[in-house]
């Protein structure tokens, strides 16, 4: 496996692969790789000739009072995991390499899709994500790019960006990977105290109950969200940011009965740590 730290190195490596007619899979990450990322790398390895994993804690997607400075940086361990799962290249640039000019060029998806859920609590977040992911797409020119369903809104925003900007690649969305007790894997889980870690189980548990209610025939989106919120409120350590349901794929308002697919999404703080989780409800 090769570690590339500069744009020039990455381009040189990929030019060789492309000349040989090899397909390229890209797995964009912010590092602190866990089993969720490993599942993306494995999928990329199965579906492409060459796999690039980017490891870059992207400053532009963090708000002023967020965890940019404390976000875990574990490049050595990340390289071992990436290699074990079949990556050919790890691309780990500096911030200066990715953002060489102080005058920024932004890629921004506008409208409701970026204003609801995390877009409301983190107003500049998705602009940072779409900007850095566009840069990575332009650099790697992958045939396929891999993202996890845990960041459900990110996935929908990126799908819109790919469509609107005619990026010539396939987005591959992989299911949420959970701990044995149900907690969705996240690099931010490492911030949790044992008490908070236990309390955080309320997220997956209440989404599971909502899924049962839906399976039993409840189609009223608002009722499903309220039911989930009430369950989360039974955990005293849970400080709710949102518990909401939107229509897929545009994340428009979901009033009245659910049709097509709905996204039931939650964001909750446990101490200083904000966790997200979600459930897709498909009306057949």
**Contacts made by residues 103-108, CB under 8 angstroms, sequence distance 24+:** 104/60, 104/131, 105/131, 106/131, 107/131, 107/134, 107/161, 107/165
Residue of 127, 135, 123 lying closest to 106 (CA atoms) = 127
Closest contact distance (angstroms) between CB of 214 and ligand PAF is: 27
Which residues sit at the interface with ligand PAF, rule CB under 6 A?
Answer: 28-30, 58, 61, 129, 132-133, 151, 154
Name the nearest CA neighbour of 281 among 240, 223, 242, 237: 223
Please say which residue, 25 or 28, places its beta carbon nearer to ligand PAF: 28
Is 37 a known active-site residue? Answer: yes
Nearer to ligand PAF, 30 or 281 (CB): 30
Contacts of 181 (CB under 8 A, 6+ apart): 201, 204
* Least separation in angstroms between CB 197 and ligand PAF: 21
Q: What is the dihedral of CA 157, 159, 164, 168, to 10 degrees?
A: 140
Of residues 29 and 206, the one with the C-beta less far from ligand PAF: 29
> Which residue, 107 or 268, is less far from ligand PAF as judged by CB?
107
Report the phi/psi class of residue 79: left, alpha or beta, with left for phi > 0 and alpha for psi in -120 to 50. alpha
- Using a 10 angstrom Cβ sphere, with 0-12 exposed, 13-18 middle and 19 or more buried, the burial of residue 237 is middle
**Residue 154 vs 228, nearer CB to ligand PAF:** 154
Minimum gap (Å) between residue 187 Cβ and ligand PAF = 8
Asked whether the beta carbons of 208 and 277 are under 8 A apart, the reply is: no
How far apart (Å, rounded) are the C-alpha atoms in residues 111 and 221? 21
* Ranges assigned E (strand) in the chain: 2-4, 24-29, 50-55, 89-91, 144-148, 170-174, 238-247, 252-253, 261-270, 273-282
| Closer to ligand PAF by Cβ: residue 23 or 149 | 149
Tell me whether residue 19 is exposed, middle or buried, using C-beta atoms within 10 angstroms of its C-beta: 0 to 12, 13 to 18, 19 or more: exposed
Work out how close the CB of 133 gets to ligand PAF at its nearest, in angstroms, rounded to a whole number: 6
Active-site residue, from 13, 37, 53, 55: 37
CB of 149 to ligand PAF, least distance (A): 11
Tokens of 125: 């977040």
Token reading at 13: 């490596």
Compute the least distance from the CB of residue 40 to ligand PAF, in Å. Answer: 10
Q: Which residues are catalytic?
A: 37
């Amino acid at each position: 496996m090769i570690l590339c730290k500069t744009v020039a190195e990455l381009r040189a490596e990929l030019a060789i692969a492309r000349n040989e007619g090899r397909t390229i899979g890209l797995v964009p990450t912010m590092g602190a790789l866990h089993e969720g990322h490993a599942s993306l790398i494995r999928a990329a390895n199965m579906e492409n000739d060459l796999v690039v994993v980017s490891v870059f804690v992207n400053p532009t997607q963090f708000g002023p009072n967020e965890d940019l400075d404390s976000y875990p940086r574990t490049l050595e361990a990340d390289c071992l995991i990436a290699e074990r799962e079949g990556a050919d290249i790890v691309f780990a640039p500096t911030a200066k390499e990715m953002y060489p000019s102080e005058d920024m060029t932004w890629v921004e998806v506008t409208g409701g899709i970026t204003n609801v859920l995390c877009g409301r609590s983190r107003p500049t977040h998705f602009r940072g994500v779409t900007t850095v992911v566009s840069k990575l797409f332009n650099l790697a020119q992958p045939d396929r790019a891999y993202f996890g369903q845990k960041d459900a809104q990110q996935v929908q925003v990126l799908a819109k960006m790919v469509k609107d900007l005619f990026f010539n690649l396939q987005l591959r969305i992989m299911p949420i990977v959970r701990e044995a007790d149900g907690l969705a894997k996240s690099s931010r889980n490492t911030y949790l105290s044992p008490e908070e870690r236990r309390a955080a189980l309320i997220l997956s548990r209440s989404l599971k109950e909502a899924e049962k209610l839906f399976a039993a025939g409840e189609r009223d989106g608002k009722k499903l969200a309220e039911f989930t919120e009430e369950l989360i409120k039974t955990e005293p350590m849970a400080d709710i940011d949102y518990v909401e349901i939107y229509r897929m794929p545009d994340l428009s308002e979901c009033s009245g009965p659910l049709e097509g697919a709905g996204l039931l999404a939650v964001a909750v703080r446990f101490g200083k740590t904000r966790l997200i989780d979600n459930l897709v409800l498909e009306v057949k």
